[in-house]
C-alpha cells in the first residue's frame, strides 16, 4: 500500500483526521507532528523513497524558523520534495502562530504582541502582516523549485482552529498578506498551482477538495486496510 506523509498540529487536527478517514483504505497515512523534528522526519522518508506523495497541510515550522520559535524548520524545509519531485499537496496550516514555552520564555522583543496561552507551558504568538509576507515569500520561493506536481491551498476562512471569526487569532489582514505574498512569489504553471478556497482549513468542504485534488494527482492508491498512524512527534 503506498505511503503518504501528512503534517499535523493541534490546531489542524480535525483537517488531518478528515483527510486520513477518506484515504486510509487506499493509502498508508503517516501523520507527522509539525514540531521541527516531525517535518524533518517526514522529509527523510521522502528522500529515502518510502513516500508516494506528501500532504503537507501544516507548515507552521516555517514561522518558528523565521521568528525564533521553539519548533523551527531547518533551511532545508521542502528540500526533499524539491529533490524527489514527489506529488506535493500543501497548505498554510498554523502559519498564524509562532510557538514558545511558558510566558516568561517569550523574547523581550515581542512584548506587546498578541498571545494565546494554549497551556501553562505553551504560548502562541500571532504572526503579523509583515511576518506573513516574509513567510509567504519564503515558502513560495521553495515551491518554485519543485518540479513535481504541486497544489498549494490557501484557506481564506482561516489557517487554524483559532484563526476563525470569534477566535483569538482571527486576523483577515494578516492572512491576506500571507496569501498575497504567495501569489506574488509563486510562478504558477499547469503543474504548480495555488488554490484559494473560502473555507477554514478545518472545514469539511476544504478537506474534501484537498482529497479530490490529491487523488487527481496520484490516483486511487491500492486497496487495503491501512490505518493512519502517528509517526515522528
Q: What pLDDT, on the 0 to 100 scale, is given for residue 188?
A: 98
Q: What pLDDT, on the 0 to 100 scale, is given for residue 118?
A: 86
Beta strands in the chain (DSSP E): 3-8, 28-33, 53-56, 88-91, 97-100, 115-119, 122-126, 150-155, 192-197, 229-230
- Is 116 among the domain residues? no
Cell numbers describing residue 51: 513516500
- Is 173 among the domain residues? yes
Predicted confidence pLDDT, tens digits, the chain (233 residues) = 999 999 999 999 999 999 999 999 999 999 999 999 999 999 999 999 999 999 999 999 999 999 999 999 999 999 999 999 999 999 999 999 999 999 999 999 999 999 999 888 999 999 999 999 999 999 999 999 999 999 999 999 999 999 999 999 999 999 999 999 999 999 999 999 999 999 999 999 999 999 999 999 998 765 333 333 444 43
Task: Answer left, alpha or beta for residue 6, where phi above 0 means left and psi between -120 and 50 means alpha.
Answer: beta
Containing structural domain, residue 36? 3-96+129-230
- Is 226 among the domain residues? yes
Q: What pLDDT, on the 0 to 100 scale, is given for residue 219?
A: 83
Number of independent structural domains in the chain: 1
Q: What pLDDT, on the 0 to 100 scale, is given for residue 156?
A: 98
- Is 70 among the domain residues? yes
CA–CA separation, 11 and 165 (whole Å): 15
- Is 78 among the domain residues? yes
* CATH number of 75's domain: 3.40.50.12030
Whether this model's pTM surpasses 0.85: yes
Q: Answer for the pair 90, 150: CB distance below 8 angstroms, yes or no.
A: yes
Task: Kindly report the number of other CB atoms within 10 A of residue 166's CB atom.
Answer: 6
Q: What pLDDT, on the 0 to 100 scale, is given for residue 221?
A: 60
Q: What is the pLDDT of residues 46-64, one digit of tens each?
A: 999 999 999 999 999 999 9
Closest by alpha carbon to 49, among 12, 92, 2, 106? 2
- Is 110 among the domain residues? no
- Is 103 among the domain residues? no
- Is 122 among the domain residues? no
Amino acid at each position: 500500500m503506498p505511503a503518504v506523509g501528512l503534517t499535523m498540529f493541534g490546531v489542524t487536527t480535525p483537517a488531518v483526521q478528515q483527510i486520513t478517514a477518506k484515504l486510509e483504505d487506499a493509502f498508508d497515512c503517516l501523520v507527522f507532528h509539525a514540531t521541527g523534528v516531525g517535518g524533518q522526519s517526514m522529509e527523510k522518508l521522502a528522500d529515502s523513497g518510502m513516500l508516494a506523495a506528501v500532504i503537507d497541510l501544516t507548515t507552521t515550522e516555517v514561522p518558528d524558523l523565521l521568528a525564533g520559535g521553539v519548533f523551527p524548520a531547518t533551511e532545508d524545509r521542502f528540500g526533499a520534495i524539491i529533490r524527489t519531485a514527489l506529488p506535493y499537496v500543501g497548505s498554510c496550516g498554523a502559519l498564524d502562530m509562532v510557538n514558545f514555552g511558558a510566558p516568561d520564555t517569550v523574547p523581550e522583543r515581542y512584548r506587546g504582541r498578541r498571545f494565546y496561552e494554549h497551556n501553562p507551558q505553551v504560548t502562541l504568538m500571532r504572526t503579523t502582516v509583515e511576518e506573513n509576507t516574509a513567510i509567504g515569500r519564503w515558502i513560495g520561493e521553495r515551491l518554485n523549485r519543485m518540479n513535481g506536481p504541486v497544489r498549494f491551498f490557501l484557506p481564506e476562512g482561516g489557517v487554524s482552529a483559532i484563526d476563525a471569526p470569534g477566535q483569538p487569532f482571527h486576523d483577515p489582514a494578516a492572512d491576506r498578506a500571507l496569501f498575497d505574498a504567495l501569489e506574488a512569489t509563486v510562478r504558477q504553471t499547469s503543474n504548480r498551482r495555488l488554490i484559494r478556497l473560502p473555507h477554514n482549513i478545518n472545514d469539511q468542504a476544504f478537506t474534501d477538495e484537498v482529497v479530490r485534488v490529491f487523488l487527481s494527482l496520484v490516483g486511487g492508491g491500492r486497496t487495503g486496510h491501512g490505518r493512519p498512524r502517528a509517526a515522528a512527534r
